[in-house]
Amino acid sequence: MSELNKLLEIITEVKNEMEKIDPNIKERLDYLNEDLSESGDIIVEEESKSMVWDYQSIPIMPISELGWASLESNTKEAEGSRRQLEQFLSNIPGADLRTKLQRLNKVMTDPKAAMKLTSFGKSQADKIASTLAYLVFFKTLTSVVTNFNAASAGFNFEAFLAVLMGGTQIPAAGAKTIADITIPSGKGDIPVSLKLYAEKSLKAGGSYPALVSDLAKSPGYMQYVAVAKSLEGSATGREGELEFYRYNLTYENIINVLYRSAPHDNSELIRLPQSMIAASKTAARAMLKDDLPQIPPLEETREKFEAALREIMKTEWGLDDTEAAAAIDAVNYGEDPRIFKAPPHPGIGALKGLASPPIKSLVLDIDGSILRGRSPGTPAPGRKEILKALWRANDIAREDSINAWRKMTSLKSGTSERYASARDSMEFYNRQTGPRKQRALLHTLGFRAGGAQFELTKADIRNVESLAAPYKVFASGQNEVSIGKLEIGQAKTQEILNEMITSINESVFAIFSNVKVMGDSLQTYFAEAMEDDALAEKAIEASKDIQVKTGELKDQT
């Protein structure tokens, strides 16, 4: 036990000395020890008395969009995960994404010159923090983009960018905006819709009604960041380039952009009622005086439908939560427009009858999921009863939507509003100003149809300034759609690491290495009932080296 007491005394002294250098060092080292234990040994080679550090020696945060989403996350683990990442990334200067990308690109292309910039700090402690910030950024970004499938990479990329910019990720479920993240600015939060695609398939789009709902209220614009990835290789060895494009869709430019964009369907979305365009100037203004009700997003309608169906199955059919969930999964509400009558949109269209092949197939799936696993002799609803339950749940879900739909489209005696051409609609729209433009968007065919989608192609994105003319499409200080490129991959990050290692940084990585050695030795020592004194000695030697290196850092900082 004397060896253990000696070790504990050294560890306490080391901790006290390190906290004098950085008050947050304990939290960081606690995390780093966990990370390095999972990532394998740090490779240290003697070469001309200098240390060569492997890619694995760079820290990396636990990757989870929920953990990174917001400091107001509902678990201490989630809050700690974001805080740890913020501690590193906050050392990358720049209030704007374009500025941060410029800094990152400088470090990537010329690390030694970048380290001489004032942005790296004046003291050695500042330089160490900056060095780690850039290395953590490139390693974590590489992991996010290359180690996950497209859907997971997209979610994690949103969270990572939110932390980099000090913003917040918006949960997809129940969101009433097309934005994925918000970024704080001096003029309020900036809503950002983020897209991550392979370079060949780059596009940007989404729900047109959701976009209109955003543009029709303050701040009246949506910032798009579209990122094209060009990667080669397989698994974790993938590497390549990310190119960032950024532009703002506003209530001023949206009609021009969609009218001039490549997909023909985009121009159909912007058509306005013929009666509005043909009316006198005074009459048209009167039509645009009041706001119109907005159709709820699909997720909100889906939640109402599933809640209503779950209640019916529970109270009337005696299904438990598992059985009800199976039936709800079979419906997959909103994903198949064939089950709806015209208009074929969830939340607006009524469901078709049992003779319809898609509905018949759906009812059979639900019938099978309900009967499967139930006790013999347990009564189950017939197919007509299942269909009636679906109808009732759909009616409950679309109650608000259908009222808005009827009012906006002026449905009377089976007739609906006639719409002007896309060109006439664009010309009329551009003659309006301010709030009247925002209200006119609520009258467009795409908004009234509900569920309509818009899409900008790769060519549209690259040419978005011309599509929007004469209206602005770029943020202040930006004069072209591309705002930066970054190379990613283990090999590239290793190159940066090799260039950024100095004698002062070697001490830092030596501490990380010895923290791992000390932790592994202690774990094994205790696991073997403290019988192997050699393990205790190994932990003591590691702690002594930490103490020495910490003292060296303290003297130089």
How much is the pLDDT for 12? 56
Looking at the domain assignment, is residue 126 inside a domain?
no
The total number of structural domains that make up the chain: 2
* Residue-averaged pLDDT of the chain: 77
| Last residue of one domain, picked from the residues 356, 381, 407 | 407
3-state secondary structure 449-460: HCCCEEEEEHHH
**Residue 475 DSSP symbol:** -
Q: Is 229 helix (H, G, I), strand (E, B) or coil?
A: strand
Q: Is 549 helix (H, G, I), strand (E, B) or coil?
A: helix
Looking at the domain assignment, is residue 355 inside a domain?
yes
Task: Tell me the mean pLDDT in the region 236-254.
Answer: 93
What DSSP string describes 328-353? HHHH-TTS-GGGBPSS--TTTSPBP-
Determine the structural domain holding residue 509 and report its residue range.
2-23+503-556
According to the per-residue pLDDT averaged within each range, which of 90-94, 146-150, 523-527 is highest? 90-94
Higher pLDDT, 121 or 488: 488
What DSSP string describes 56-116? GGS------HHHHS-TT-SSHHHHHHHHHHHHHHTTS--SSHHHHHHHHHHHHH-HHHHTT
How much is the pLDDT for 168? 86
**Residue 122 DSSP symbol:** S
Task: Tell me the mean pLDDT in the region 436-449.
Answer: 88
Looking at the domain assignment, is residue 313 inside a domain?
yes
Angle, alpha carbons 204-107-232 (nearest 5°): 50
Q: How confident is the model at residue 33 (pLDDT cuts 50, 70, 90)?
A: very low
Closest by CA to 422, choosing from 226, 552, 274, 270, is: 270
Both structure tokens of 115? 């380290």
Looking at the domain assignment, is residue 153 inside a domain?
no
Looking at the domain assignment, is residue 376 inside a domain?
yes
How much is the pLDDT for 536? 60
Backbone angles phi, psi at 149, to 5 degrees: -70, 175
Both structure tokens of 66? 């929920």
Higher pLDDT, 47 or 520: 520
pLDDT > 90? residue 233: no
Task: Tell me the mean pLDDT in the region 476-503.
Answer: 87
Looking at the domain assignment, is residue 360 inside a domain?
yes
| Last residue of one domain, picked from the residues 407, 436, 455 | 407
Q: Is 136 helix (H, G, I), strand (E, B) or coil?
A: helix
Q: How confident is the model at residue 66 (pLDDT cuts 50, 70, 90)?
A: very low
| Residue in the structure block whose two tokens are 């009337």 | 316
How much is the pLDDT for 465? 97
What DSSP string describes 360-421? HHHHHHHHHHHHTTPPTT-----HHHHHHHHHHHHHHHTHHHHHHHHHHHT-BTTB---B--
pLDDT tens-digit profile of 384-430? Answer: 888 888 988 988 888 777 666 655 555 433 445 789 999 999 999 99
User: Please, which residues have CB within 8 angstroms of residue 446's CB and are 6 or more apart in sequence?
Assistant: 208, 209, 212, 268, 269, 270, 271, 452, 454
Residue 126, judged by CB atoms within 10 A of its CB (0-12, 13-18, 19+), counts as: middle
Looking at the domain assignment, is residue 400 inside a domain?
yes
pLDDT > 70? residue 522: no
| Last residue of one domain, picked from the residues 407, 435, 452 | 407
First-to-final CA distance of the chain:
36
Looking at the domain assignment, is residue 326 inside a domain?
yes
